């Protein structure tokens, strides 16, 4: 290994041909200076590639800047380091703060299923700052900003959304300090609730001694139906289906005129429900034998 000592006269246009050369500063300052050419160019050091076709240049600020800087290299560098100044001309590398303690979190949405009309969603979590920006992000990439946001506390927000397109959405909260969080999954489902087509009230008057003409009850968007209060006469059969349900059979429960009241609840794929009340009247004897609708 060749060793070149830098003394009073310095080095000019030296070619290093050995595998490695150490430049040793022997003066009391303990430094190597790349001087500029007066009024021509500023001093710099260039580190070239092995083909000398490109490289990295470390160059002094111009004389007109009237600035001197000290760059201190760290003992080690991992991911997320950046170069910072202390305001006094000293530059050093520093790790990026992750602000883990300050990041907002989202633990739940209530409700998690909304209709296409304006719906208030309560967002529970931590580290919310008044007043954040809240967005619903569709799995298609479309972004809808909340109509309004109410800051309740650092752990609760209420965001009102009007989302006209059915689908599933991520919810994103960005605090005023720029820190943000998005739900890990598309946790908000938007879909119209079932809508009844069959009118409420009486389904008609029927002969209590004859087979019931099939009664079909219809609701849009419904995937299932259930009698949730009251009952139809026994042993009539209630059959659920997609979009409609039916009541069939011959009743034996009543032997005199009677009216049965019951409520049918329609449910969609997202668990939204719509209930509707109905009645069925039974007649016997001289007033029986016919259906009046």
Task: Give the residue with greater pLDDT, 90 vs 191.
Answer: 191
In the predicted structure, residue 98 carries a pLDDT above the cut 80: no
Q: Is the pTM of this model over 0.75?
A: no
Q: pLDDT band for position 289 (50/70/90)?
A: very low
In the predicted structure, residue 17 carries a pLDDT above the cut 70: no
Q: Smallest Cα–Cα separation from 147: which of 120, 125, 128?
A: 120
In angstroms, the CA 228 to CA 267 distance is 11
The b/e string for 169-179 (b: 16+ C-beta within 10 A; e otherwise) is: bbbbbbbeeee
Question: In this predicted structure, what is the pLDDT of residue 288?
Answer: 44
User: Considering the domain 105-190, what is its CATH architecture?
Assistant: Sandwich (2.60)
Task: Report pLDDT digits (tens) over 55-80.
Answer: 888 887 888 777 777 777 777 766 66
Contacts made by residues 106-110, CB under 8 angstroms, sequence distance 24+: 106/171, 106/173, 106/181, 106/182, 106/183, 106/187, 109/171, 109/183, 109/187, 109/188
**Are 105-190 and 195-287 equal in CATH topology?**
yes
For the chain, what are the domain ranges? 105-190, 195-287
Question: In this predicted structure, what is the pLDDT of residue 56?
Answer: 80
Question: In this predicted structure, what is the pLDDT of residue 266?
Answer: 97
In the predicted structure, residue 134 carries a pLDDT above the cut 60: yes
Q: What is the mean pLDDT of the segment spanning 257-268?
A: 97
DSSP string, 128-139: --SS-EEEEEET
Question: In this predicted structure, what is the pLDDT of residue 249?
Answer: 97
In the predicted structure, residue 21 carries a pLDDT above the cut 70: no
Q: What is the mean pLDDT of the segment spanning 133-156?
A: 96
Q: What average pLDDT does the structure give for the chain?
A: 85
Question: In this predicted structure, what is the pLDDT of residue 290?
Answer: 47
| DSSP H or E stretch at residue 107 | strand 105-110
Question: In this predicted structure, what is the pLDDT of residue 220?
Answer: 94
Question: In this predicted structure, what is the pLDDT of residue 271?
Answer: 84
In the predicted structure, residue 33 carries a pLDDT above the cut 90: no
Question: In this predicted structure, what is the pLDDT of residue 1?
Answer: 46
Question: In this predicted structure, what is the pLDDT of residue 53?
Answer: 85
Measure the CA angle with vertex 152, ends 144 and 141; round to 5°: 15
CATH of region 195-287, choose from 3.40.50.720, 2.60.120.260, 2.60.40.10, 3.30.420.40: 2.60.40.10
In the predicted structure, residue 145 carries a pLDDT above the cut 90: yes
Question: In this predicted structure, what is the pLDDT of residue 97?
Answer: 61
Q: What is the mean pLDDT of the segment spanning 252-268?
A: 97
Question: In this predicted structure, what is the pLDDT of residue 270?
Answer: 81
DSSP string, 20-44: -EEEEE-SSS-----PPBTTTB--E
Cα 125 versus chain centre, distance? 13
Task: Report pLDDT digits (tens) over 211-237.
Answer: 999 999 999 999 999 999 999 999 999
Which of 31-40, 153-162, 199-208, 245-254 bottoms out in mean pLDDT, i.e. has the lowest? 31-40
Task: Give the residue with greater pLDDT, 248 vs 98.
Answer: 248
Question: In this predicted structure, what is the pLDDT of residue 102?
Answer: 86
């Amino acid at each position: 290994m060749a060793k070149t000592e830098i003394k009073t006269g310095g080095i000019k246009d030296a070619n290093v041909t050995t595998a490695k050369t150490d430049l040793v500063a022997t003066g009391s300052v303990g430094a190597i200076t790349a001087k500029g050419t007066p009024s021509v160019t500023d001093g710099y050091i260039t580190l070239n590639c092995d083909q000398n076709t490109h490289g990295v240049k470390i160059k002094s600020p111009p004389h007109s800047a009237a600035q001197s800087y000290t760059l201190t290299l760290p003992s080690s560098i991992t991911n997320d380091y950046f170069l910072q100044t202390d305001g006094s001309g000293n530059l050093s590398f520093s790790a990026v703060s992750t602000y883990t303690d300050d990041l907002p979190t989202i633990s739940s949405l209530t409700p998690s299923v909304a209709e296409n009309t304006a719906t208030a969603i309560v967002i529970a979590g931590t580290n919310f700052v008044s007043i954040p920006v809240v967005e619903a992000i569709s799995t298609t990439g479309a972004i809808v900003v909340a109509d309004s946001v109410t800051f309740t506390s650092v752990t609760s927000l209420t965001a009102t959304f009007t989302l006209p397109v059915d689908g599933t959405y991520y919810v994103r909260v960005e605090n005023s300090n720029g820190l943000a969080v998005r739900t890990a999954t598309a946790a908000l489902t938007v879909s119209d609730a079932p809508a009844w087509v069959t009118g409420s009230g009486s389904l008609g008057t029927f002969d209590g001694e004859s087979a019931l003409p099939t009664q079909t009850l219809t609701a849009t968007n419904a995937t299932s139906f259930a009698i949730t209060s009251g009952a139809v006469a026994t042993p009539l059969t209630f059959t659920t289906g997609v979009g409609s349900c039916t009541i069939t059979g011959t009743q034996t429960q009543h032997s005199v005129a009677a009216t049965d009241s019951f409520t049918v609840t329609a449910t969609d794929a997202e668990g939204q429900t719509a209930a509707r009340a109905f009645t069925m009247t039974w007649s016997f004897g001289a007033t029986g034998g016919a259906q009046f609708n």
